[in-house]
């Protein structure tokens, strides 16, 4: 059988390949968007190639289709290049990050959750195992200007113990 001069079987095969590419690409985009805040286009190409490795879709077709689909995808935004690969993020991730930064900026100007010195001293006295560095960090996150503070440290350095003391101080203050 022929359709417009082409064998019907070949046209059906092309349509099946196109549908398989579409499904695999959309699944890879959805998975990458859920797992990462941003991702390189090569991650999508790799996921689609792995998904379609037993099909008769060539690597060139996969790469071409994925590049076209990702660039034109209505829910993806190109955010730059890294190591010669275009990186993308979902619009929902960009919106969430923008909202988070707006909230952080607003909270950095607030002193609504500052703990008084008397409460802090009582909590420090109760948690006698805190090191001087932990006490300084506790003071920083409960008494410093702004309701946003960063606490970082290596594994096993007592961040969780410190945060338990901070939680107790905030709870005593009614927060």
- Which pLDDT value is given to residue 4? 53
Do the beta carbons of residue 70 and residue 41 sit within 8 Å? yes
- Computed over every residue of the chain, the mean pLDDT equals 88
- Which pLDDT value is given to residue 15? 82
Residue 11 binned pLDDT confidence (cut-offs 50, 70, 90): very low
Least confident of 1-5, 42-46, 122-126, 167-171: 1-5
Average pLDDT over residues 73-95: 93
Supply the pTM of this predicted model: 0.61
- Other beta carbons within 10 angstroms of residue 23's beta carbon come to 13
Whether pLDDT at 109 is above 80: yes
Residue 131's contacts (CB-CB under 8 Å, 6 or more residues apart) are 158
Whether pLDDT at 2 is above 60: no
Top-confidence residue, 4 or 96:
96
Average pLDDT over residues 69-87: 92
Alpha-carbon distance of 154 to 159, in angstroms, equals 9
Average pLDDT over residues 116-125: 94
Average pLDDT over residues 8-25: 76
Top-confidence residue, 8 or 99:
99
């Amino acid at each position: 059988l022929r359709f417009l001069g082409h064998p019907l079987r070949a046209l059906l095969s092309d349509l099946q390949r196109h549908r398989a590419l579409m499904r695999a690409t959309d699944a890879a985009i959805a998975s990458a968007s859920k797992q990462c805040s941003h991702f390189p286009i090569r991650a999508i190409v790799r996921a689609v190639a792995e998904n379609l490795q037993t099909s008769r879709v060539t690597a060139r077709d996969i790469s071409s289709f994925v590049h076209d689909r990702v660039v034109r995808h209505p829910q993806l935004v190109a955010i730059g290049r890294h190591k010669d690969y275009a990186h993308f993020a979902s619009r929902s991730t960009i919106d969430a990050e923008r909202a988070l930064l707006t909230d952080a900026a607003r909270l950095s100007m607030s002193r609504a959750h500052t703990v008084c010195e008397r409460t802090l001293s009582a909590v420090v006295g109760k948690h006698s195992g805190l090191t001087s560095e932990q006490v300084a960090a506790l003071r920083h996150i409960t008494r410093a200007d702004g309701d946003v503070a960063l606490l970082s440290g290596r594994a096993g350095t007592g961040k969780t113990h410190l945060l338990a003391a901070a939680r107790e101080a905030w709870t005593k203050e009614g927060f």
